[in-house]
Structure 1
Amino acid sequence: MLTAWKRISKVPRLPGLARGAATSSYNAPRMLRKYPLKKKIAGYSVERVLPVPELSLTAVDLVHDRTGARHLHIDRNDKNNVFSIIFKTNPPDHTGVPHILEHTTLCGSDKFPVRDPFFKMLNRSLSNFMNAMTAHDYTYYPFATTNSTDFYNLMDVYLDATLNPTLAEEDFFQEGWRLENEDIKDKDSPLIFKGVVYNEMKGQMSDPFYYFWIRFQESIYPSLQNSGGDPAHITSLQYPDLVDFHSTNYHPSNSRTFTYGDMPLSRHLETINERFVHFGKRHKRSLIRQPITLDSGNKVVELEGPVDPMIPIETQWKTSLTWFAGSPKDVYETFKLRVLNNLLSDGHSAPLYVKLVESNLVTDFSVNSGMESMPAVNIFTIGAQGMTKEVSGNFEEIVTNILKEACDEGFPKDKVQAIINQIELGRKVESSSFGLGLLNSVISGWVDEVDPLEMMEWKETMSKFIAEYDSRGDKIFTELIERHFLNGNHFKFTMTPNPDFEAKIAQEEQKRLTSMVEKLTPEDKQIIFTRGSTLASKQEEEQDLSCLPSLSISDISRDGNAVDLKESALGTDSRLFARVSSKSNGLTYFRATKTIDSEIPISLLSYLPLFTDCLTSLGTTTESMAALEDQIKLHTGGLQASVFVSNTPDNIVDPVLKLAISGVSLDNKFEKVIGLWERLLKETNFDNTDKLSTLIKSLSADNVSSIVSNGHGYAKSYGTSFISPVALIDDHLSGIRQVQFLKQLGEWNSKGELQTKVIPQLKKIQEILMSGTQNYRFALTCNRESLDSQVAQLEKFVGGLSQNGYASLGSESLVRDIKLPFVTDGVYRAGVKLPSQVSFASKSLSTGLSYTDNGGAALQVMTQLLNFKRLHTEVREKGGAYGGGSQFSALNGIFSFYSYRDPKPLNSLSVFAKSGEWMIDSIESVTEEDLDRSKLTIFQKVDSPLSVKEEGMMEFLHGIDNDTRQQRRDQLLEVEIEDIRESAQTYLVGQEGGSEIILGDTGELPSDFETLDLSQ
């Protein structure tokens, strides 16, 4: 999996910290006694120990005596234990060798000589996270599990996979790239490029945001190359290069290991030492690569990029300015730069937001905008997208003037205090994946010699910052701006829109392919054909998997974790669901929903997501959004609004549409949350056309990127919208229909028609929602001492919501009455065309089963049998797609198949269509062991740890209480092989109707496919 890029967060975070609540039982002196300095543990020496009482953890820094490998252990009373092995993997070029090696290491090893032990372990484990990821200069292999046996099973597999991989040549061809006949049974069929990573990166490069980001990185930091791989270069990589890269980089001396949780450190180290002790110590070279130099002056790079068909081409310039801003090893300076980034760009009164976005010079910040710590230097970027060529040309002058003005005017003290409040409150928010979050926070700096213990000393960093700010005030920030930005050289990067970009990419690939094929002799072509046949045969071979460790069905508890959620009346027609938690850590978590499917007309359905965004974007009739935002940041941990559709556990036909609002605060600030929400719901100023216009432009700015990054989800959503009322509504809210509506909003916005086409509709929604308190449900999670006070606050809130009734909707059809689109032959088939080098496919069927039907449990178990015994081989290994599988939604009764970044979507649809018959024909080969492992996979998610704010939400949001969840749990555990056969016959083979969707590069489609073109 590629994790070489991410959106740069505009919210400052303390270096190296994840969210996590402290507990009162932590004893720092006892922890220091537990890990004395210089203590020898299983071949390791304890070098440093850092108690962090405010997070109830102890960090232990150790070194392996024989190899010099570093180990970081986080001792914390958390049953969700984490392990990772990390290697420094500077890429030598753009061929993606670190990424392809990440894939091939997991295709078999000395101790586990089977095909794809990584995927085979997915159904032998109860892990709640298991993956491998390639970043720009390191590769890591993390997992998390609450089961001790599982932990050491996975550690054994991971260590052997990375240190002793088979690295078979056929795995390189399968996972990396290969030339192969389009039809592997016909040696005269055309030769084409295939390979899992090759197709993955074609899809990645089709994401406009990623393309901008990777070209930016290659320009400012060319020595980092492209670790994921550029398809234009991947086909230059040869198998010996892969083997050499592993030999050079996958050595304990070039590794780091990480453990977290409540399991004993000694056993962790014993297990690792057993693997490491066979290696010697390698001399460690300086492996931190450097960016370009700006010593001689500013530098400018301009490249062409793709066009977004959803917005006018004349506003598709993207430009950024970047400065080098010190070393990431200076943790305190890095922290101050993150705070400065927040002050400059995050929020409605931030100078860059006001002068760039709100002024309509640009639509949004660019994906590389913000402060990022790279291997050797911090880079601070101010970038934007959605600008004209003229604005791009003047961008340096515009940004310089904004920075000078910020220096002259300074930053209000309450905004700095708001940042401090957000960071300190964030430390109190308990997370169910704290260990993984901590790993991801420290890893990028740790591999480049940034001290992970110093990154965890957040209290010292914060105290130092507060003291300096109290004594120096704004000079902290003005000096940073002057030193790094106004008096420093910068790098300007611009991407210009080219309407022929996708065609040029396709032409380049065809030219590269033709050049390779022309050089082949008849003997070469025969070798390629034979190799393809051999690879296909190996993919079909039955394997002896007895060498792989596995949990058993007995490791799944018969009883699920019940959540104590007390339901009571609130006011005359609302309900309260309260949960007392000792883990709330002085915080109150609040949620409210209002069921609106019987109140909102279908004509307003697509406006609802915009409406919820408006609530926290426009301000009220008496207060600006900037002023409201200051209050939100000063007094709360954030306010969120959304709209979603679901159904009840016993009724999949009737949709339940809900508005949802939420917030979190310190217990003594809960009245601020309630007060803010009352004003936002009742007084949002929908006549604020400037803010509304800015919001619509921002929402429309990333449609293509969001679809390409989640194409299988959009394909499935669109397909199921023709067979399920719930799915149809969901597609209007967050699927293809919402994307189309956003394009329409953009057109109305550009024509100045908001006053007639949008604002009246938003006001009508507000009028409907504020007509009374019926159908409201509230959820509170807090400690026992605060509950009565918070309930009293809610009672006041409910009393203030009711207003006069709204005008009758007359004969307008309501959302509850929505009708499915008519499909002539019972099966809807469509191609959704989008600028992309790859495709996504989905096939969906409506089973009519509710959450508590026995047949649904059998179908859910069947999805795992199909995934592991058929679809992984057919769609990924043979078809070359990055991923594929099947899913069953217990709530809406939809059975779906999907493929992800798929070069052969029609082939995948054929595989999906035959899966029911395959299941029936193969039922005799399904063993009790297969059945148990399918159940293990399901319970990975069912029993995954929950955070405090997530506990009880299945009941509150969907009506699935403890008894219903236990009933479903029992049904899953009791599924038998015969149940699988019967369900396959009834719901897959015997099912009529459904949908088949191909999204992306649709190519030539059969005549019975409709076409929806989003590329125009």
Structure 2
Amino acid sequence: MELGNIYNGFKLLEENNIDEINSTGMLFEHEKTGAKLFYLKNDDDNKVFSISFRTPPTDSTGVPHILEHSVLCGSRKFPVKEPFVELVKGSLNTFLNAFTFPDKTMYPVASTNDKDFKNLMDVYLDAVFYPNIYKYPEIMMQEGWHYDLQDKDGELTYKGVVYNEMKGAFSSPESILFRKISESLFPDTQYGVESGGDPDVIPELTQQQFLDFHKRYYHPSNSYIYLYGNIDISEKLKFIDEEYLNNFERIQVDSQLNIQKPFEKQREVIIEYPISSTEKEEDKTFLSMNFAVGKATDDELYLAFDILEHLLLETPSSPLKKALIDANIGKDVFGSFEGGMLQPMFSIVVKSSNEKEKDKFKSIVTETLTKLVKEGIDKKLIEASINIKEFKLREADYHGYPTGLIYSMKAMDSWLYDEKPWEHLAFENILKKIKTALTTNYFESMIEKYLLDNNHSSVLIVKPAKGLAEKKEADLKKRLEEYRKSLSDKEIEEIINNTKLLEKRQTTSDSPEELTKIPLLSIKDIDPKAKRLPLEEKEEQGIKILHHSVFTNGIAYVNMYFDTQGVNEEQIPYISLLSTIMGKVSTEKYNYEDLAKEININTGGIRHTAQAYYETGDAEKFYPKFVIRSKVLLENISKLSQLLGEIISHTRFDEHKRLKEIIQETKSRMEMIIFDRGHVVAANHLFSYFSPIGRYEDILSGLSFYKFIVELEKNFDDRVEELVKNLQEVSKVIFNKNNLLLSVTLEEKDYEEFNKNFGSLYSELGNEYIKPTEYKFKFEAKNEGLMTSGKVQYVAKAYNFMKLGYSYNGSLQVLRAIANYDYLWNRVRVQGGAYGSFSSFQRNGNTFFTSYRDPNLDNTLKIYQEAGDYFKKFEADDRQMTKYIIGTISDLDFPLTPSMKGERAAENYIKHFTHEDIQREREEILATKVEDIRKFGDLVSDVMKQNYLCVLGNEDRIKENKELFNELVTLFE
């Protein structure tokens, strides 16, 4: 393709080789409409498409977010109610979702199958340009909000998926904090309102405003189209032009983003968040200092501030974090640099503090930063932070997200603001400039200019308030009741009719004719053979080694799995605590700050975790492990070996002050997880009622471990000697040569180099016989209601089907797809208004149903109870079954990065899940028939009949349903 030429309606404007990501960037403009298109050409088979729009909100009704949900509820070519769900059920997608940002809305998809990829593009393009929102007002009612009234004597309430999602988001103090930071810094711009929607404001959105927003912004002239990977670009351009863009004319879309005028002096904002009636208010305040930092289009500042945030706040040797922790004004400190907006934000946050500490907080931040500017930042710390960021940039491993998806987001961070889309993708020259910091005052000058001398900043205080949730709920009920009283009989009848119209739409099945319009692959498009994961068993110096030979671009991924079966039952929580502490406290050779620097300078990171792996096909047996995951450039393997040996064998557990800091931080981070992932927390805790691995993992890292940490922090001074003793004993039991299984992922040609330089570590390990412990767990159906101040619920039911005499079959994964995207989606999400609902059928028999940000409680449990009957009467034609099978295979065939291949192979080895098992499961999935699903109806019914349940959620709602529970537990003190 030549610059200036037109290809299928698109003019090629610029081309740029981006060597850092082995890609060529090609920038096009659609001649007729002005649509912008960026293609990243490379050899990646995991292709990505995205269409985005600049969508600046003017209020907090959440219209961009509600629209993001709604356009995926049927369109011109694909008139079914939920094309998005139909694709999830029956596509080989490797990614399928949509995102609302403060200033843009993105619709990305990914697939390794070209036919599937084109189908996904077709559905998404039709959805954004021709949605059914103009035909069916019920779509906005369902996805956004509506008045719900069943009869003239009933209670008037609000319902809606986004409404409930944001009620959940506004239940978490961390979520409130980060949502309000941009409001405090940019009050006069699009960043001063809540694009996701504030639950107090969402009901102000009218149907007309909703449609007007789509008309205004969802036009090709305001679109940013992105393609990535090994694709036929001419064919894709032709398809986009002929099928979609050619139907539009170029228009002027006013989607300009406003710049906040800098403040003359720092602003101060105080916000309250709800806590339950039994929680204490002390040590529950968040203090944050926030700064507007340049523009996202300054590519050097964008990357440098990301590194500076890590340097100041994210490592044990970070000077600002250390100063704030040492001052004892809070129990956790972290930072945030948000570059994905026109005016990026940098934040310093102290958690578990008190409002009275505000002035001290401000002065410590100012004094510490001033001292760093005057005296200079430790050059080794600078080197460590630059190195860890560079390692991540070069590795391009994004924890399971397609690489092309992450690149699309980085491209938007400049492209949306009228600069080139490759600005943040080409990092080599920028890194060179930043590395001058090793010999100059580069970062010191940044601190001075953008932090110390910057009045465009805010201090945001987010403090707890008892009774706030109850007051808001009472005010809402009163407001709705007063509104109801103001309505005429005719108006009340209209609301009842609208409620029934929506319910009718939600409960009416799509016609077979409409369903066939959703493009579908055939079973023949699926490879019947499962991909074999690389694994070769070796032995070195008496240690079993699993070698995974794949191309890793010169990186060695080294995972050490230590058996922890020798640890006695009372000491299980200390295994997890040990994993949290290691690498963050001093060793004999390094103090903890220097250790952090050495790790970040010489490796890509060392992580310690404690977990357990179940035996495939066995409800009782499991393998507890202490896992050390590390990655390093091959030339530094010897240094990695030395560092691991130092941490494993020479960690000091006698630094009482440091231990307390880590325990406080651990408690804080667990609280964030409980709020953010309540559905998983409730389901996993439920397993502890009946499952050996469930009970073990609950003690190890679940809610039982959280309680252990809470008690440890509260009584630290009294328990510190006992704590040190337990850590020493557990460490000695675990780090033994006889416990170790080593997994290494790197090319065959590099194995000897690894082996030659890594073996020195083995001599650091103990070698005595360790007797395994037989755990004697006590089980009971606690059926807990875990009470918080949250405004929504996470509702879970579970049991183990193997304990009921059933066995595992691959077809259960097809059942899971049907449960998730048919039964639970329709009953719990669409009709119930929850943000999500999920099921799991594990290979050890453990099964759960759980919901996410759910306004309901007893009704959701009733839906779970009725699931078995639904499956017993399950109906589906051949096309529908093909769809479910393809969707199930899509989950199994997700492309794995080199590190993921090694890790998955090692985990399967531990679980005794062989390639033959994987192939048999695949064949069972591909052969699944309607009768198989019906047979599982009894399994589901029997699991639900056991009545093991756990609900995490609103205190009042749980108390209203107290008869369902055996125990009511206040989760937070």
**Alignment match, 2:165:** 200
Query: Aligned match of 2:885 in 932, 935, 942?
Result: 935
Aligned CA distance change for structure 1 residues 505 and 276 (closer, same or farther; 3 Å) = same
Unaligned runs of 5+ in 1: 1-34, 809-813
Residues in 2 aligned to 1:972 and 1:469: alpha-carbon distance in whole angstroms? 56
**Alignment match, 1:1014:** 971
Residues in 2 aligned to 1:657 and 1:783: alpha-carbon distance in whole angstroms? 29
What's the RMSD between the two structures over aligned residues?
Answer: 2.2
**Alignment match, 1:17:** none
Query: Aligned match of 2:906 in 930, 953, 956?
Result: 956
**Alignment match, 2:783:** 829
Aligned CA distance change for structure 1 residues 564 and 375 (closer, same or farther; 3 Å) = closer
Shift of 1:36: 2.2
**Alignment match, 2:420:** 451
**Contact (CA 8 Å) 1:589, 1:664: kept in 2 or not?**
yes
**Contact (CA 8 Å) 1:318, 1:496: kept in 2 or not?**
yes
654-663 or 340-349, which deviates more:
340-349
Q: Secondary structure, in 3 states, of the residue corresponding to 1:618?
A: coil
1:847 aligns with 2:817: no
Shift of 1:424: 3.1
**Alignment match, 2:247:** 278
Query: Aligned match of 1:178 in 146, 149, 161?
Result: 146
**Contact (CA 8 Å) 2:166, 2:199: kept in 1 or not?**
yes
Q: Secondary structure, in 3 states, of the residue corresponding to 2:78?
A: coil
**Alignment match, 1:694:** 661
**Alignment match, 1:729:** 696
1:235 aligns with 2:199: no
**Contact (CA 8 Å) 2:100, 2:106: kept in 1 or not?**
yes
**Alignment match, 2:347:** 381
Question: What amino acid maps onto 1:856 in structure 2?
Answer: N
Aligned CA distance change for structure 1 residues 340 and 864 (closer, same or farther; 3 Å) = closer
Query: Aligned match of 2:177 in 212, 228, 241?
Result: 212
**Alignment match, 2:578:** 611
835-844 or 646-655, which deviates more:
646-655
Q: Secondary structure, in 3 states, of the residue corresponding to 1:50?
A: strand
**Alignment match, 2:558:** 590
Aligned CA distance change for structure 1 residues 72 and 512 (closer, same or farther; 3 Å) = farther
Aligned CA distance change for structure 1 residues 849 and 290 (closer, same or farther; 3 Å) = farther
Aligned CA distance change for structure 1 residues 830 and 424 (closer, same or farther; 3 Å) = closer
Per-residue CA deviation, residues 769-796 of structure 1 (Å, 9 max, x unaligned), is: 13x3113110111122321121234433
Query: Aligned match of 2:186 in 221, 227, 237?
Result: 221
Aligned CA distance change for structure 1 residues 90 and 430 (closer, same or farther; 3 Å) = closer
Q: Secondary structure, in 3 states, of the residue corresponding to 1:652?
A: coil
Aligned CA distance change for structure 1 residues 816 and 517 (closer, same or farther; 3 Å) = farther
How is 1:92-491 mapped onto 2 (pairs within 5 angstroms)? Answer: 92-167=58-133, 168-181=136-149, 184=150, 186-222=151-187, 223-224=189-190, 225-274=193-242, 275-285=244-254, 287-291=256-260, 293-294=262-263, 296-307=264-275, 313-366=281-334, 369-373=335-339, 375-429=341-395, 431=397, 433-466=402-435, 468-469=436-437, 473-489=439-455, 490-491=457-458
**Alignment match, 1:889:** 842
Q: Secondary structure, in 3 states, of the residue corresponding to 2:785?
A: strand
1:506 aligns with 2:506: no
Residues in 2 aligned to 1:850 and 1:914: alpha-carbon distance in whole angstroms? 18
**Alignment match, 1:903:** 855
Residues in 1 aligned to 2:943 and 2:596: alpha-carbon distance in whole angstroms? 55
Aligned CA distance change for structure 1 residues 97 and 685 (closer, same or farther; 3 Å) = same
Residues in 1 aligned to 2:292 and 2:393: alpha-carbon distance in whole angstroms? 29
Unaligned runs of 5+ in 2: none
Shift of 1:966: 1.3
Shift of 1:502: 2.3
**Contact (CA 8 Å) 1:571, 1:799: kept in 2 or not?**
no
Question: What amino acid maps onto 2:270 in structure 1?
Answer: E
Question: What amino acid maps onto 2:163 in structure 1?
Answer: Y
Shift of 1:845: 2.3
855-864 or 252-261, which deviates more:
855-864
**Alignment match, 2:3:** 37
137-146 or 528-537, which deviates more:
528-537
Per-residue CA deviation, residues 673-726 of structure 1 (Å, 9 max, x unaligned), is: 121111111111111111111111111124443212111111111112212111
Q: Secondary structure, in 3 states, of the residue corresponding to 1:956?
A: helix
Shift of 1:57: 0.7
Question: What amino acid maps onto 2:282 in structure 1?
Answer: E
**Contact (CA 8 Å) 2:688, 2:696: kept in 1 or not?**
yes
How is 1:505-904 mapped onto 2 (pairs within 5 angstroms)? Answer: 505-544=472-511, 545-572=515-542, 574-581=543-550, 583-597=551-565, 599-749=566-716, 752-770=717-735, 772-802=736-766, 816-823=774-781, 829-848=783-802, 855-890=808-843, 892-904=844-856
Residues in 1 aligned to 2:494 and 2:802: alpha-carbon distance in whole angstroms? 51
Q: Secondary structure, in 3 states, of the residue corresponding to 1:651?
A: coil
Residues in 2 aligned to 1:425 and 1:54: alpha-carbon distance in whole angstroms? 12
**Alignment match, 2:930:** 977
**Contact (CA 8 Å) 1:343, 1:411: kept in 2 or not?**
no
Residues in 2 aligned to 1:324 and 1:822: alpha-carbon distance in whole angstroms? 53
Shift of 1:815: 5.9
Shift of 1:804: 5.7
Residues in 2 aligned to 1:802 and 1:657: alpha-carbon distance in whole angstroms? 19
Per-residue CA deviation, residues 483-537 of structure 1 (Å, 9 max, x unaligned), is: 2333231322222222233223323432432343232222122111122222222
**Alignment match, 1:13:** none
Shift of 1:893: 1.1
Residues in 2 aligned to 1:312 and 1:505: alpha-carbon distance in whole angstroms? 20
Residues in 1 aligned to 2:432 and 2:643: alpha-carbon distance in whole angstroms? 30
Aligned CA distance change for structure 1 residues 386 and 1015 (closer, same or farther; 3 Å) = closer
Shift of 1:187: 4.0
**Contact (CA 8 Å) 2:172, 2:676: kept in 1 or not?**
yes
960-969 or 722-731, which deviates more:
960-969
370-379 or 352-361, which deviates more:
370-379
500-509 or 936-945, which deviates more:
500-509
**Contact (CA 8 Å) 1:839, 1:902: kept in 2 or not?**
yes
Aligned CA distance change for structure 1 residues 417 and 708 (closer, same or farther; 3 Å) = closer
Residues in 2 aligned to 1:210 and 1:699: alpha-carbon distance in whole angstroms? 18
1:996 aligns with 2:949: yes
Shift of 1:374: 5.8
Aligned CA distance change for structure 1 residues 424 and 116 (closer, same or farther; 3 Å) = same
Residues in 2 aligned to 1:147 and 1:641: alpha-carbon distance in whole angstroms? 36
Shift of 1:953: 2.7
Matched pairs, number: 953
159-168 or 520-529, which deviates more:
520-529
Aligned CA distance change for structure 1 residues 885 and 781 (closer, same or farther; 3 Å) = closer
Q: Secondary structure, in 3 states, of the residue corresponding to 1:964?
A: helix
**Contact (CA 8 Å) 1:310, 1:703: kept in 2 or not?**
no
**Contact (CA 8 Å) 2:52, 2:224: kept in 1 or not?**
yes
480-489 or 555-564, which deviates more:
480-489
**Alignment match, 2:34:** 68
**Alignment match, 1:1005:** 961
**Contact (CA 8 Å) 1:87, 1:256: kept in 2 or not?**
yes
311-320 or 114-123, which deviates more:
311-320
Question: What amino acid maps onto 2:963 in structure 1?
Answer: S
